[in-house]
């Protein structure tokens, strides 16, 4: 889809990414370019969901920081995806603060939710996220849901890694992702999500 490819595809790249990062840490500029190529589309889509049209400028700043601090990183390819996503998020939030834009308040409710099954919901959403239209719809989700969906489906992080990026409990991120995926699936006309009438994306439930 041009913006990552979900957890399974991202995980398939982890070996190549980890090897590239290791070489880049020894000064191999071509290897750093490989890591950039593997990560930039998904990170850019994630940051675009946070700051809109300023995403490329924000990611330029993020990659400067990534390059500067590369020698401090310790971990594998999956860990590098999480590390770079954290840096990208911090730069995006810094940008929002500079622009005096306040993030939308979270609508995540700590209650027992009636949610569809894990696999069916993710399969529906990941299939739908192959279109630019679906990525645009993510912007209409409550902020906590949008970030959770982007990190899980677009950047390809697993639940614990996404929780570390967001500074939240894995259960809260998992719930936010499910709620966001449920809304997207319903908005995109998924046949199996029929438990309630459609709502405008961004409404609280």
Write the pLDDT tens digit of every residue in 130-183. Answer: 456 667 778 788 889 889 988 888 888 888 999 999 999 989 998 998 898 888
Provide the residue count of the chain: 205
Say how far apart CA 156 and CA 49 lie, in whole Å.
Answer: 15
Say how far apart CA 75 and CA 65 lie, in whole Å.
Answer: 17
For residues 105 and 141, the answer to whether their CB atoms sit within 8 Å is no
Query: DSSP for 98-151?
Result: HTTPPPPPP----S------HHHHHHHHHHHTTSHHHHHHHTTS-HHHHHHHII
pTM above 0.75, yes or no: no
Q: How far is CA 54 from the centre of its chain?
A: 17
Confidence at 11, pLDDT banded by 50, 70, 90? low
Say how far apart CA 66 and CA 156 lie, in whole Å.
Answer: 19
Say how far apart CA 187 and CA 157 lie, in whole Å.
Answer: 24
């Amino acid at each position: 889809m041009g913006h990552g490819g979900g957890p399974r595809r991202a995980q398939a790249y982890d070996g190549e990414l980890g090897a590239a990062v290791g070489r880049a840490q020894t000064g191999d500029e071509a290897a750093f370019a490989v890591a950039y190529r593997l990560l930039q589309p998904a990170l850019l889509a994630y940051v675009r969901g946070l700051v809109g049209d300023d995403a490329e400028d924000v990611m330029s700043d993020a990659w400067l920081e990534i390059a500067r601090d590369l020698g401090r990183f310790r971990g594998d390819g999956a860990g590098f995806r999480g590390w770079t996503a954290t840096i990208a998020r911090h730069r995006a939030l810094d940008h929002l603060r500079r622009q005096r834009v306040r993030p939308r308040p979270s609508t995540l409710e700590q209650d027992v939710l009636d949610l569809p099954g894990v696999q069916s919901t993710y399969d529906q959403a990941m299939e739908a996220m192959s279109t630019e239209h679906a990525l645009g719809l993510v912007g209409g989700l409550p902020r906590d849901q949008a970030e959770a969906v982007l990190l899980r489906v677009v950047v390809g992080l697993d639940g614990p890694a996404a929780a570390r990026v967001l500074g939240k409990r894995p259960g809260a991120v998992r719930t936010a992702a499910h709620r966001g995926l449920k809304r997207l699936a319903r908005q995109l006309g998924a046949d199996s999500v029929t438990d309630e009438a459609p709502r405008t994306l961004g409404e609280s439930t």
